[in-house]
Structure 1
Amino acid sequence: MGHPSHDQVTFDIIQNALEAIADEMFVVQRKTSMSAIIYEVLDLGTGICDAKGDIAASGAGIPAFIGVLDKAVTAILKKHPPETIQPGDLFASNDPYWGGVTHLNDMILAMPVFAAGRLVAWTANIAHWNDVGGLVPGSMSSDATEIYQEGVRIPAVKLMEAGRPNQAVFDILYVNTRLPAFLKGDLWAGIAGVRIGERRLQELIAKYGVDVVIAAIDDFMDLGERRARTALKGLTKGVFTFAEEQDDGAVYKVSIEITDDAFIVDLRDNPDQSGSRNSSLEGVVIAAQLAFKAVTDTDAPGNGGFFRPLKVVTRPGSVFHVVEPGALGYYSEVEIRLFDLILRCMARYVPELVPAGNFASICGTNIGGKHAETGRHYTIVEPQLGGWGAQRGRDGNSAMFSGFHGETFNCPAEVAEARYGLGVEELALNPAAGGEGQWRGGKGISLRYRVRADDNFLSVGYTRSRIPPWGVDGGLDGSPNFVEVLRPGEMPERYAFGTNIPLREGDVVHVVTGVGGGFGPPERRSREAVLRDLRDGYLTGERAREIYGIED
């Protein structure tokens, strides 16, 4: 409806300006970071929050990361009352038990914005740092059982006070990493990002006035809520349940209740927390927010107002609500499983909502050790591309990041070879069978890194390694994700999770990601499409004869 004292056109201009500021924050951080996981892969997120901490505008990057920022600012405000915060302050947090939400590798920076003597907004960002100490290089150990083993914890503290650096915190960060130069560069890139956001917000406030900018933010929140509640009215009402077995045999369950004014996700009936595959409550809320938006209104603004009808219920001490001192190194695999779980639950009641299954894993791959040329320690942190599921009317996409992982990219072979001293011998589509149907699933990848020095290591965390992406309406299941270590003269070693696997010069790390599930019976696929798959290398002649009855 808008605020009667201000015109809607001005509000629209301000709201678009907020999005532009968040985007500029993203570009600044990307262009000034040291690590390829940030400047190439774009494993970061930026946003603007209102004075209370609700997300008001978001930049590019990983959707799940943007959802972290409001929760981090809320935690900062809980620890630091507004009367203790002043212009020039800058806060840092990577601790999931203090607003960090994800795991210790992800550092959040947040800066308050003041106008007319009062706190009016926050600029914030989050990025993955390659190493923050802990048991293993890369700080992500599948063997960790407590957060103390995963690295340095920064519990929502002031990194700067009134513009002056809190040097003690900087020193603690620098000595708790195996890659101090990279951490320092990535840290100051993040500081530059929130500072440019604060400067641009001050310019916006100077142009329109603080009251108008605040009113525009409030109006944007109200718009988000109206759009969500309108979409909610169109959903089937009732209580819906779904359960899915995981690679380790555990069963994850969800119950969703949809009413006229609420979308309630109940996760209480789930396994106890265990090892490093757990999520914080806030992280689970983010996964639910992404799924909620997918089933309601994908075009609406994803601000704090939009998510007001969503409620998430958990059981403390479970895999979906870890309690201290539980480990969270591979939190992302839990959240991506939940995202799938909610969508699969809703697919039966919202026709054509969910395609066939996709490879649905971050496929986190850490390789590190001594650089072949420089002798310095390096760590490469790579999420991987994979195959998406088919849907009615179209084949699945090949070699894409999962929808949960968002707008990210793979690290180019040239960068990996130059920065990390690895040889990239292959990056090709995975030729594995699977995912055939009237519309076929997209292909995953086959990626081979050749190790060029001794005393290197591999740590990985892949799910969908035993239970493949599912087919729909007669489409065939896809294929699993896994990693092989190929050593000269030895049998291949296959992994889904592993920590500090030793690597020697000449070894090959072979990454294989899944083919997405098919949609519809294979016999209904057109002959022309099958022949095109044969021509383009998506299908072997043997498989064409076996599944489609077509000779090469």
Structure 2
Amino acid sequence: MWDRLIAVVEEQAQALLRTAFSTIVREAGDLSAGVFDLEGRMLAQAVTGTPGHVNSMAESVKHFIDIFPVETMKEGDHYITNDPWRGTGHLNDFVVTTPAFHNGRMVGLFSCTSHLIDIGGIGFGPDGHDVFAEGLSIPFLKLCDQGTMNETLMAMIRANTRLSVETEGDVYSLVACNEIGAKRLSEMMGEYGLTTLDALASHICDASRAAALERIAALPKGTTRNSMTIDGLDKPVDLVAALTVAEDGIHVDYDGTSGTAKKGINVPLAYTRAYTAFGLMAALAKGIPNNAGSLSVWHIDAPDGCILNAPRGLPVSSRHIIGQMLPDVMFGCLEPLIPEVVPAEGTSCLWNVTLRGQARKDNLGRHGFAVTITTNGGTGARPNNDGLSATAFPSGVKGSPVEIMEQAAPVVVWKKELRDGSGGAGKYRGGDGQVIEIENRFGQSMELLAAFDRIDHPPRGRAGGGNGACGTVALSDGRKLKGKGTQEIPAGQRLCIQTPGGGGFGKPVAGAAE
């Protein structure tokens, strides 16, 4: 039954991947999908998807059923939100939750998330002074009532995006994704003669929790600490963590972390918990399913008002810049406990190239173009192997194909190659970053909504390994660009990017090539 449930949620995710309009979803896999019981516990997640989406979505379903009790849900209903604090961390992520029925009886829920390229406002960048400037905000609403779409809500969504066709299409892809999951779940239950998921859900959660606690019990009790400094916006940001191993699980406290920023690199606590839990799962829970049971052993908190627990209303559009650093922070805490397991630091946060050009409305209702090209740097070297080059960790998304991006935006990608030697030296080398050159063929200036880090503070090596190379952002005429904020790329100019390399692991072997 467990294997079949995994197959169900993976088909759910593939339906979203294959029907999405956003290039960042259909080409890079920036999504999540999962099945939940009637209590809102995530039972299984699809392999396709990102930890930030999956682990924050795991909590968002409970918010849906608090507002829309399960006894009021009908077959054909769908619910939606993009609430950053009770969803997946910023407005560009739409979460759709759908009740699943078998033989006329509600048996569970399916939920999914995808990243939409444009939802109005200032766009997908860190320039906003508050969340209200960052785009359209959708509270928890009923999107579809027993098969009838909420046309008023759909009209509001279309009217508040520069890409009305793509955005509307993405909403329908989220609905279709959950409907596929619900259909396959009913088929599975019929084959196994199940009338409810209650017994299966309890077994999954109890077994997963017990397995995670068993791994934690093998660790020495006590508290370890780690800190990391990254570029931030107008000043560096310190990420400070204390990790305590206890009987009931692992407790993480981010006390000492920098306060909130004036612009949109702040992180809602839901996203902080999502990537912190992923780092702990990756290091300690290999082979254990990621669900409500295993996630319950991680107790994660951050002080009110710190950058990892941003109060409601602050700008959070680029929360991934900091949130995706947290697995590395956890690895630093775990190094004294499991020194031969955790890797060196990597690029960590995605180097997404978000480009936008304004033009007159076309015959599809689009106002210019907006596109996000997913790129990444090198991962940290491992205790027994080199790091991976040009690989997104911890997000797991794929790089955007050049051919697709050149069709989606008026650009030419002249160069996309490994940045040889950018990985840190060591017994095992860090993974290399990339060298990328993108020419503006728009005929006028286009905007770069920059959201990059590790330009001033490189990924650090571990156990005597060298640091990875810092990233750079510039134009082909030699002008350096800032790592964050909206800037112009003149017509005919090339955007020249070098993404960071990962840190090395262990002291370099004497006589070995560096």
Q: What is the TM-score of this pair, normalised by structure 1?
A: 0.87
Say whether 1:451 aligns with 2:435. no
Q: State the match for 2:36 in structure 1.
A: 49
Say whether 1:158 aligns with 2:142. yes
Say whether 1:389 aligns with 2:380. yes
User: Can you give the 5+ residue segments of structure 2 that lack an aligned partner in the other structure?
Assistant: none
Q: State the match for 2:476 in structure 1.
A: 486
Say whether 1:65 aligns with 2:53. yes
2: CA distance between counterparts of 1:462 and 1:81? 41
Q: What whole-Å deviation, never above 9, does each CA across 1:66-119 have from its counterpart, x for those lacking one?
A: 11222121111122222332222101111113x223110111111011346653
Would you say the 8 A contact 1:370–1:455 is kept in 2? Answer: no
1:419 to partner: Cα distance: 2.1
Would you say the 8 A contact 2:162–2:367 is kept in 1? Answer: no
Q: State the match for 1:410 in structure 2.
A: 399
Same amino acid, percent of matched pairs? 25
1:440 to partner: Cα distance: 1.6
Would you say the 8 A contact 1:41–1:411 is kept in 2? Answer: yes
Say whether 1:507 aligns with 2:498. no
1:192 to partner: Cα distance: 0.8
Q: State the match for 1:476 in structure 2.
A: 466
Q: State the match for 1:7 in structure 2.
A: none
Say whether 1:399 aligns with 2:386. no
Say whether 1:21 aligns with 2:5. no
Q: What whole-Å deviation, never above 9, does each CA across 1:309-353 have from its counterpart, x for those lacking one?
A: 221122222211111211111111221122211111111221212
Would you say the 8 A contact 1:15–1:217 is kept in 2? Answer: no
Letter in 1 for 2:222: G
Would you say the 8 A contact 2:373–2:405 is kept in 1? Answer: no
User: Can you give the 5+ residue segments of structure 1 that lack an aligned partner in the other structure?
Assistant: 1-13, 531-547
Q: State the match for 1:331 in structure 2.
A: 319
1: CA distance between counterparts of 2:25 and 2:197? 31
1:245 to partner: Cα distance: 2.0
Letter in 2 for 1:395: D
Say whether 1:308 aligns with 2:296. yes
Letter in 1 for 2:217: K
2: CA distance between counterparts of 1:336 and 1:134? 24
Letter in 1 for 2:178: V
1:190 to partner: Cα distance: 1.3
Would you say the 8 A contact 2:346–2:503 is kept in 1? Answer: yes
**2:286 equivalent among 298, 306, 314:** 298
Would you say the 8 A contact 1:482–1:495 is kept in 2? Answer: no
Q: What whole-Å deviation, never above 9, does each CA across 1:209-239 have from its counterpart, x for those lacking one?
A: 4445331122111110111111111112101
Which secondary structure does the structure 2 equivalent of 1:522 belong to?
Answer: coil
2: CA distance between counterparts of 1:30 and 1:249? 36
2: CA distance between counterparts of 1:340 and 1:519? 14
Which secondary structure does the structure 2 equivalent of 1:493 belong to?
Answer: coil
Which secondary structure does the structure 1 equivalent of 2:63 belong to?
Answer: helix
2: CA distance between counterparts of 1:386 and 1:315? 31
1: CA distance between counterparts of 2:162 and 2:422? 41
2: CA distance between counterparts of 1:433 and 1:19? 38
Letter in 2 for 1:511: I
**What aligned pairs does 1:230-241 form with structure 2 within 5 A after superposition?**
230-241=214-225
Letter in 2 for 1:181: V
Which secondary structure does the structure 2 equivalent of 1:367 belong to?
Answer: strand
**1:224 equivalent among 208, 224, 230:** 208
Q: State the match for 1:255 in structure 2.
A: 242
Q: Tell me: CA distance 1:376–1:167, structure 2 relative to 1, closer, same or farther (3 Å).
A: closer
Q: Tell me: CA distance 1:498–1:482, structure 2 relative to 1, closer, same or farther (3 Å).
A: farther
- Give me the CA root mean square deviation: 2.0
**What aligned pairs does 1:91-102 form with structure 2 within 5 A after superposition?**
91-97=79-85, 99-102=86-89
Say whether 1:424 aligns with 2:410. no
Which secondary structure does the structure 1 equivalent of 2:62 belong to?
Answer: helix
Letter in 2 for 1:219: H
Q: What whole-Å deviation, never above 9, does each CA across 1:480-517 have from its counterpart, x for those lacking one?
A: 12321224xxx322321121x12222111112111111
Q: Tell me: CA distance 1:525–1:382, structure 2 relative to 1, closer, same or farther (3 Å).
A: farther
**What aligned pairs does 1:101-250 form with structure 2 within 5 A after superposition?**
101-115=88-102, 118-135=105-122, 139-211=123-195, 213-247=197-231, 248-250=235-237
Greater helix percent: which structure? 1
Would you say the 8 A contact 1:371–1:421 is kept in 2? Answer: no
2: CA distance between counterparts of 1:294 and 1:300? 10
2: CA distance between counterparts of 1:378 and 1:331? 23
Q: Tell me: CA distance 1:493–1:29, structure 2 relative to 1, closer, same or farther (3 Å).
A: same
Q: State the match for 1:35 in structure 2.
A: 22
2: CA distance between counterparts of 1:316 and 1:185? 38
1:53 to partner: Cα distance: 1.2
Q: Tell me: CA distance 1:434–1:16, structure 2 relative to 1, closer, same or farther (3 Å).
A: closer
2: CA distance between counterparts of 1:517 and 1:263? 26
Which secondary structure does the structure 2 equivalent of 1:110 belong to?
Answer: strand
**1:281 equivalent among 257, 269, 273:** 269
Which secondary structure does the structure 2 equivalent of 1:96 belong to?
Answer: coil
Q: State the match for 2:503 in structure 1.
A: 517
1: CA distance between counterparts of 2:342 and 2:412? 38
Q: State the match for 1:460 in structure 2.
A: 450
Would you say the 8 A contact 2:239–2:257 is kept in 1? Answer: yes
2: CA distance between counterparts of 1:261 and 1:268? 21
Would you say the 8 A contact 1:486–1:493 is kept in 2? Answer: no
Letter in 2 for 1:400: T
2: CA distance between counterparts of 1:184 and 1:317? 35
1:433 to partner: Cα distance: 4.9
1: CA distance between counterparts of 2:373 and 2:341? 30
Q: What whole-Å deviation, never above 9, does each CA across 1:40-78 have from its counterpart, x for those lacking one?
A: 111111111111111111111112211122212111112
1:365 to partner: Cα distance: 1.7
